[in-house]
């Protein structure tokens, strides 16, 4: 489930200006690995053009991603999707910051820290710097202000989702899939997958419908619980009986890996399935 720091909070000052351009932001630390999919900011009531938001890793002042808002609504929360989701690591400090040419929103003496889901904005917060373009702000507010720069955070393994064009998505084994796709088993349960790995057809089965280790791209002798409806290998236990299909005889395209009932997890990795 998507998480953010400030939700729909309303700033105490909704249209501040110091007649200078600022980069202004919030430091945060995720408790788990995940991705930043969007940037958020509560815009002032004055209409602004050219506002940009970005995510920075504090150590090394590394710019991880930026994006300009397009046709934002004044006096409201606005979101913009980064071109590529930004991976973030548990326990690492980041700053999300906006660049505004003039006006901004703020609440002084903000009640830091903010704890929201897996995100924490610590006491050392409210960051700004003047300048003509977006950079990571490095001066801390003297009055503990919040400037309401925010993110949309997706924890890793939060659940399966439909993947376009058969591209694998991050899922947690056993979590319900929101749609049957290349990262879900026929029963709709998520299976391990690697982000961005193209799904290819083919798996292998053994006689009597027993699940076997399979290599992606090999022909399927028969559809059983070691393959999705599209013939894609999924996580199974070696030697586990197929719960629905009757015993089957391996065809000419099948390769018997083992018929011993041993417990081993089959996971999908780029280009192959290993155990």
pLDDT-based confidence at residue 272 (cuts at 50, 70, 90): very low
Distances (CA, A) of 210 to 82, 191, 213, 217, 234: 44, 18, 10, 19, 13
First to last CA, the chain: 30
* Between 163 and 114, residue with greater pLDDT: 114
Classify residue 217 as left (phi > 0), alpha (psi -120 to 50) or beta: left
pLDDT-based confidence at residue 174 (cuts at 50, 70, 90): low
- Phi and psi, residue 150, nearest 5°: -145, 170
Distances (CA, A) of 99 to 22, 38, 102, 202: 6, 15, 9, 49
Query: What residue numbers bound the domain in which 77 lies?
Result: 13-155
Is position 58 within any domain?
A: yes
- Digit-coded pLDDT (tens) for 107-129: 999 999 999 999 999 999 999 99
Assess contact for 158 and 176: CB atoms under 8 A: no
Assess contact for 153 and 3: CB atoms under 8 A: yes
Q: Write down the mean pLDDT value for the chain.
A: 73
pLDDT-based confidence at residue 1 (cuts at 50, 70, 90): confident
Is position 32 within any domain?
A: yes
Assess contact for 229 and 266: CB atoms under 8 A: no
Question: How far apart are the C-alpha atoms of 28 and 40, rounded to whole Å?
Answer: 14
Determine how many CB atoms are found less than 10 A away from the CB of residue 41: 29
Assess contact for 191 and 177: CB atoms under 8 A: no
Is position 187 within any domain?
A: no
pTM over 0.85: no
Give pLDDT, residue 234.
Answer: 47
Domain containing residue 26: CATH number: 2.60.120
Is position 170 within any domain?
A: no
Total domain count, the chain = 1
- Digit-coded pLDDT (tens) for 43-66: 999 999 999 999 999 999 999 999
């Amino acid at each position: 489930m998507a998480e953010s720091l400030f939700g729909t909070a309303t700033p105490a000052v909704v249209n501040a200006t110091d007649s200078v351009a600022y980069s202004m932001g919030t430091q945060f630390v995720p408790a788990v690995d995940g991705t930043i999919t969007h940037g958020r900011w509560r815009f002032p009531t004055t209409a602004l053009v050219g506002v940009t938001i970005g995510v920075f890793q504090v150590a090394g002042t590394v710019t991880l991603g930026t994006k300009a808002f397009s046709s934002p609504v004044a006096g409201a929360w606005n979101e913009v999707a980064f071109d590529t989701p930004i991976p973030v690591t548990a326990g690492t400090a980041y700053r999300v910051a906006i660049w505004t040419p003039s006006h901004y929103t703020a609440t002084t003496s903000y009640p830091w820290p903010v704890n929201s889901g897996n995100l924490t904005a610590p006491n050392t917060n409210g960051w700004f710097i003047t300048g003509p373009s977006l950079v990571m702000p490095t001066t801390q507010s003297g009055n503990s202000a919040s400037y309401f720069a925010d993110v949309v955070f997706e924890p890793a393994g939060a659940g399966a989702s439909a993947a376009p064009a058969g591209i694998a998505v991050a899922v947690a084994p056993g979590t319900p899939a929101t749609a049957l796709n290349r990262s879900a088993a026929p029963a709709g349960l998520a299976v391990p997958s690697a982000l961005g790995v193209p799904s290819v057809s083919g798996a292998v089965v053994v006689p009597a419908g027993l699940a076997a280790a399979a290599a992606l791209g090999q022909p399927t002798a028969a559809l059983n619980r070691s393959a999705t409806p599209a013939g894609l290998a999924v996580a199974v236990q070696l030697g586990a009986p197929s719960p629905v299909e009757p015993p089957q005889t391996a065809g000419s395209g099948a390769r018997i890996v083992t018929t011993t009932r041993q417990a081993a997890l089959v996971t999908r990795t780029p280009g192959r399935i290993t155990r």
